[in-house]
Each structure stands twice: as structure tokens, then as C-alpha cells.
């Protein structure tokens, strides 16, 4: 049997966005992934669904597998002909025992490659606003393991040389030995007022940083009950944090925000939240599916020339309508002669990528805004086609009818509830770990309440944020207290409204 290959891939220190393009490419081709405790599990989604995922994480008090077992596992999986990704936090060769794993593979003639990653020794201080070198403050830095066996008769670290010969000192995995580290640095000549930073959960939305000096950092760590994982930085560069901090002063930093949109639509909201420092927590409570019975839709498409207007109220409506159009061997030319209206810019963009510029987009992105502009046009006797969801209310259709037009609604997609809640999210809700619950449609409200019930949601004490007044009304009707309503009924508008809410609280 052909021997496989092992890729020792650095995943970076926590932020999944720090993995390299080559690292993601390796994951996409993996048959087996063997991953560590501090690897963000979202990275595992880059691998094929059928790939075997094996957790070998270690902590100070618990080792899922000893290092020798991990080495043997790499060898066995490769000998079985697999492409194996050994996914390691930080960089494989920086205090991560990647060198030992590479040796074990080399000794057994197993092909391997090393894909470097962003080391926590550099990346974590950078996310705290601390450069490890600076032209005016530090021309050198050194990285050390902080969990050296304290029972050794003599330390493997030359404390005197590093204290006097290196500007910036970075200790990884050193929280349990912080008193020893501080003691040695003071013993060998570092001044007591030397700045020290301790950074916990670096590069993640839970990142916390304590700044002190050698004389008081132990007290501050005890006061804030800091534990591992953390990076310790010693040196004058720590003083720059006051000016250069950027990651943990973003407007939504550290907020856990529940995203209830359908999974295939959540990316835009997740990205905007992440850019502002929040951690999106996905719980898709709806799924968008094509209508099971296309008879009415097909009839409408075959008679498009009888309509004067077609109005799209959502991206889903556009996608589903055009999908059926293509299935019938038609394209955008079938809409010739029709005026096309949309309610919001995202829906307009969905049409534009299909080569169609809407004739009418209201200034206010709501049904009321759409009707306000439409009322200034003479539409008496005109025929309107509204491709809608199966659960869409009649408000828009009835209002257009009152303006003198004839309206034909046709179902183009179904909004299907997702039956099972993710246990981890449910636990976070019940443990009050969610700061904001977002709703982007009335159906997301109804389905989330069905999954948890309003009492459980209220007990969480999270703020309720709605994309617009209609969604807010639905939330209020089921007994939820709405705290945030977007003034612009778009995903960016929703994120802006959440940001403004918390800026007022600050």
C-alpha cells in the first residue's frame, strides 16, 4: 500500500483567520486531522465532511494522549495511505513539539511537510498592541517556555544572560510559574518597575490583558484570577499598549451575538460582527427550500408578458425565482418589458448580479417605504406579480391592491424550521453567555421561540436586536422585550444599530 503524507500545519494562536492559505489548502485535502486543544474548531470545517477528526489536546492537568502516542498515531495513519494534517496551535516548530513529531516521521521514512503558522509569541502581543521590537525601545526579543520543570536542580534557561542581553522577553505557557519567572528576572538584575503584560486568550474575542510591572504583576494576576492559556511579555515595549491597542477596543469587542439566519445567508452578518470585535454564535433556526409544488409558479413564469410589474421583497425570492426560471430553460430576457421593484439594496444587488437593474428601490427599505413611493405613481389597473415565501403576510399585497392595482402572489420558496437546537448554544443561552440575540425576519423569531420558549430566552438577559419594525413587532407579540431596532432594514444597518446601542452604554 502506498504510504500517505503528513502535513504539520500551524493554525495560529486562536483567531481562525490567521491560518495560512496553504494551511487551508492542506485541510481541504485531508483524510485525517489530528488537532490540539487551542485550535479553533471552526477550522475543521475546511476539511471534507468524511475526513476523520481526532482530538489530542493537552492541558496542564490533562493529556488526552501522551506525545509518544501522538507520534505513533501520525505514523500509523500515514502508513494506511492517508493524507494527514497535524493541526497545531501557533507555529509547529515554536515550543510546540512539532520538531519531535517531524523526527518521529523522518525516522520511519514517512513523507512530511511543515506549514508554518503565526506564533503566539509574536501574534498575541501584536493583538494586545505590543510590538515585540521597536526601533526606539527594543532591538531584540527572545521566546521561552514558561512551564520548565521547577524541580530541576539547575534551570536550562541562562537567566543572567537573557536578563541583561535581550530587550523583550516572551514566555509561553508560563502562568503556573509566574512567581519563579518574576523572581529570577529580579534576582538577575531587571528593575522592579520593568513593564509586564499578561495576555489571556490572545487573538480571540475573549482576550484580556493585564499590564503591570515586575513588582506588582503577581498581585494583579491573582486579583483578576488569570489562568492559562496566557502569554507573558516583559520589556519596555509593553508601554506602547496604551497607544497601539486596536483589537480589544473595537466597538463590539467580546460580545457574543447569536445569529439566527439560515446558514447559507449568515456569512455577511458574521463578518460584520467579527470586524467589530464580536464573536458570532451561529444557530440557524430556519432553512430556505424551493417550493415543493411549482405549478402556480410555472404558470406565472409562462405568462410574464401579462404583468406590468414584478416585485421582489427578499434575496431569497430572487434566488428561488431565477432558479426555477433556469430550470425552465429561460433567463433574464423573460422579464423584458416588466418594471421591477425591490424593497432593499441586498435584493437589488441579487438582481444586478443577474444582469438586471431594478426600476424602483425605495429610500426607506421597508414595505411602508416601498408603498410610499409607489403611491406617487399611477398604477391603477396594472398587474403586479409578487414572488413570496410560503409564510409571507398579506400586508404588501393588500396595500398595493388598495392603490388600484391587481396583485398576484406566488410562492417561490418555503421557510422551514430547523428542528434541533445546537446543545452548546442552548447551554450558552441558559448560562447567560449570549449578549445579543439577532433576528433578521419574523420567521427567525417564531422558530427560535419554538426551540427554547420565551421564558428561557428572557432568563438569558440578552439584548434583542431586530432588523426592522415588522420583525420587532413579531418579537413583541411573542413576549420578547426588543432593545434594538435597525433604522435601516439591512444587515449593515442591524450591525450599526447594535454598535450604537453599546456605545451609549459605555
Domain boundaries, the chain: 5-118, 122-244, 256-285+418-505, 289-417
Return the CATH fold of 122-244.
Answer: 3.30.950
3-state secondary structure of 34: strand
The region of weakest confidence among 232-241, 287-296, 331-340 is 287-296
Looking at domain 256-285+418-505, its CATH class is: alpha beta
C-alpha cell at 242: 496604551
CATH number of 289-417: 3.40.50.10090
- The pLDDT assigned to 158 comes to 85
Query: According to the model, what pLDDT value does residue 309 have?
Result: 96
Residue 208: strand pairing partners: 200
Nearest to 343, CA basis, from 367, 316, 319: 367
422, pLDDT greater than 70: no
97: left (phi over 0), alpha (psi -120 to 50) or beta: left
CA 436 to mean position of chain CA atoms? 15
Give CA–CA dist 296/234, Å, rounded: 71
Q: What is the pLDDT of residue 163?
A: 85
Instruction: Count CA within 13 A, CB hemisphere, residue 486.
Output: 23
User: Is it the case that residue 330 has pLDDT exceeding 80?
Assistant: yes
Sorting pLDDT into bands at 50, 70 and 90, what band is 1? Answer: low
Higher pLDDT, 502 or 154: 502
Residues 335 and 307: their CA atoms lie apart, in Å, by: 10
Question: What pLDDT score does 419 carry?
Answer: 56
C-beta of residue 346 within 8 angstroms of C-beta of residue 315: yes
How far CA 265 is from CA of 77, 223, 324, 346, in Å, comes to 37, 43, 20, 12
Among left, alpha and beta (phi > 0; psi -120 to 50; other), residue 250 is beta
Per-residue cell: 61: 492537568
User: From CA 210, how far away is CA 217, in angstroms rounded?
Assistant: 8
Nearest to 229, CA basis, from 91, 38, 86: 38
Catalytic residue among 15, 31, 36, 40, which?
36
More confident residue, 58 or 448: 448
Number of C-alpha atoms within 13 angstroms, CB side, residue 338? 25
- Per-residue pLDDT averaged across 399-412, rounded? 94
DSSP state string for 227-290: -SSEEEEESGGGGGHHHH--STTSTTTT-EEEE-S-GGG-HHHHHHHHHTT-EEEE---EEEEE
Q: Which residues pair with 87 in a beta bridge?
A: 9, 35
User: Of the ranges 211-220, 258-267, 453-462, which one carries the lowest mean pLDDT score?
Assistant: 453-462
Cα separation, 268 vs 82, whole angstroms: 35
Find residue 234's DSSP bridge partners.
Answer: 169, 196
Q: What is the rounded average pLDDT of the residues 188-192?
A: 95
Residue 58 a catalytic site member: yes
Equal fold, 5-118 vs 122-244: no
To the query of whether residue 173 is one of the catalytic residues in this protein, the response is yes
Q: With 50 as the cut, is the pLDDT of residue 151 above it? A: no
Q: How confident is the model at residue 195 (pLDDT cuts 50, 70, 90)?
A: very high
Using alpha carbons only, give the angle 213, 159, 208 rounded to the nearest 5 degrees: 35
Angle at 497 between CA 424 and CA 246, to 5 degrees: 75
**pLDDT (0 to 100) of residue 331:** 92
Share of the chain above pLDDT 90, in %: 71
Residue 80 has pLDDT above 50, yes or no: yes
SS (H, E, C) 176-218: CCHHHHHHHHHHCCCCCCCEEEEEECCCCCCCEEEEEECCCHH
Cα–Cα distances in Å, from 455 out to 52, 449, 475, 480, 481? Answer: 39, 9, 13, 9, 11
- Give the pLDDT score at 451: 79
31, 77, 88, 173: the catalytic one is 173
User: What number of residues does the chain have?
Assistant: 506
Q: What pLDDT sits at residue 148?
A: 62
The one-character DSSP state at 430 is: H
Mean of the per-residue pLDDT values for the chain?
90
323-360: string of b/e by CB count within 10 Å (b at 16+)? ebbeeeeeeeeebeebbbbbbbbbbbebbeebebebeb
Task: Assess whether pLDDT exceeds 50 at residue 150.
Answer: no
Q: What is the largest CA-CA distance in the chain?
A: 95
Of 155-159, 168-172, 379-383, least confident by mean pLDDT is 155-159
Q: For residues 342 and 373, what is the distance between their CA atoms, to the nearest angstrom?
A: 12
Q: How many CB atoms lie within 10 A of CB 212?
A: 19
Global pTM reads 0.78
**83-115 tens-digit pLDDT:** 999 999 999 999 889 999 999 999 999 999 999
The reported pLDDT for the residue numbered 60 is 58
Q: Is 1 a catalytic residue?
A: no
The architecture in CATH of the region 5-118 reads: 3-Layer(aba) Sandwich (3.40)
Model confidence at 149, in pLDDT bands (50, 70, 90)?
Answer: low
Amino acid at each position: 500500500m502506498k504510504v500517505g503524507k503528513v502535513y504539520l500545519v500551524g493554525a495560529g494562536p486562536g483567531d481562525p483567520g490567521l491560518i495560512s492559505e496553504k494551511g487551508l489548502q492542506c485541510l481541504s485535502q485531508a483524510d485525517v486531522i489530528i488537532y490540539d486543544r487551542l485550535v479553533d474548531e471552526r477550522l475543521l470545517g475546511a476539511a471534507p465532511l468524511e475526513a476523520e477528526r481526532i482530538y489530542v489536546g493537552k492541558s496542564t492537568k490533562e493529556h488526552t494522549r501522551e506525545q509518544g502516542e501522538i507520534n505513533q498515531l501520525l505514523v500509523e495513519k500515514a502508513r494506511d495511505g492517508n493524507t494527514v494534517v497535524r493541526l497545531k496551535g501557533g507555529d509547529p516548530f515554536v515550543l510546540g513539539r512539532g520538531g519531535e513529531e517531524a523526527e518521529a516521521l523522518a525516522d520511519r521514512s514517512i513523507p512530511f511537510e511543515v506549514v508554518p503558522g503565526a506564533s503566539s509569541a509574536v501574534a498575541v502581543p501584536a493583538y494586545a498592541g505590543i510590538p515585540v521590537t521597536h526601533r526606539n525601545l527594543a532591538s531584540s526579543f527572545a521566546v521561552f517556555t514558561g512551564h520548565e520543570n521547577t524541580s530541576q536542580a539547575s534551570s536550562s534557561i541562562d537567566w543572567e544572560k537573557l536578563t541583561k542581553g535581550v530587550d523583550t522577553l516572551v514566555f509561553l505557557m508560563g502562568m503556573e510559574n509566574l512567581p519563579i519567572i518574576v523572581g529570577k528576572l529580579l534576582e538577575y538584575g531587571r528593575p522592579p518597575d520593568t513593564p509586564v503584560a499578561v495576555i489571556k486568550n490572545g487573538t480571540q474575542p475573549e482576550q484580556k490583558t493585564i499590564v503591570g510591572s515586575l513588582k506588582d504583576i503577581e498581585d494583579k494576576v491573582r486579583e483578576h484570577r488569570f489562568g492559562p492559556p496566557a502569554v507573558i511579555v516583559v520589556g519596555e515595549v509593553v508601554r506602547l499598549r496604551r497607544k497601539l491597542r486596536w483589537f480589544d477596543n473595537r466597538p463590539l469587542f467580546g460580545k457574543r451575538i447569536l445569529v439566527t439566519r439560515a446558514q447559507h445567508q449568515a456569512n455577511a452578518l458574521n463578518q460584520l460582527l467579527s470586524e467589530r470585535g464580536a464573536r458570532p454564535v451561529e444557530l440557524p433556526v430556519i432553512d430556505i427550500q424551493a417550493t415543493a409544488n411549482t405549478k402556480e409558479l410555472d404558470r406565472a413564469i409562462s405568462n410574464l408578458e401579462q404583468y406590468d410589474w414584478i416585485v421582489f421583497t427578499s434575496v431569497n425570492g430572487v434566488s428561488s425565482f431565477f432558479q426555477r426560471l433556469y430550470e425552465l430553460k429561460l433567463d433574464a430576457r423573460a422579464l423584458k418589458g416588466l418594471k421591477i421593484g425591490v424593497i432593499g439594496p441586498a435584493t437589488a444587488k441579487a438582481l444586478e448580479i443577474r444582469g438586471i437593474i431594478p426600476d424602483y428601490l425605495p429610500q426607506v427599505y421597508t414595505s411602508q417605504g416601498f408603498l410610499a413611493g409607489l403611491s406617487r405613481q399611477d398604477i391603477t389597473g396594472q398587474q403586479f406579480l409578487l414572488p413570496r415565501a410560503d409564510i409571507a403576510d398579506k400586508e404588501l399585497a393588500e396595500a398595493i391592491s388598495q392603490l388600484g392595482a391587481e396583485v398576484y402572489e406566488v410562492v417561490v420558496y418555503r421557510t422551514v424550521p430547523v428542528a434541533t437546537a445546537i446543545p452548546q448554544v442552548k447551554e450558552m443561552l441558559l448560562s447567560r453567555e449570549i449578549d445579543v440575540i439577532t433576528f433578521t425576519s419574523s420567521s427567525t423569531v417564531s422558530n427560535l421561540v419554538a426551540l427554547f420558549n420565551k421564558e428561557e430566552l428572557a432568563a438569558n438577559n440578552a439584548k434583542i436586536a431586530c432588523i426592522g419594525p415588522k420583525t420587532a413587532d413579531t418579537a413583541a407579540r411573542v413576549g420578547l422585550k426588543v432593545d434594538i431596532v435597525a433604522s435601516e432594514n439591512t444587515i449593515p444597518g442591524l450591525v450599526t444599530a447594535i454598535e450604537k446601542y453599546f456605545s451609549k452604554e459605555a
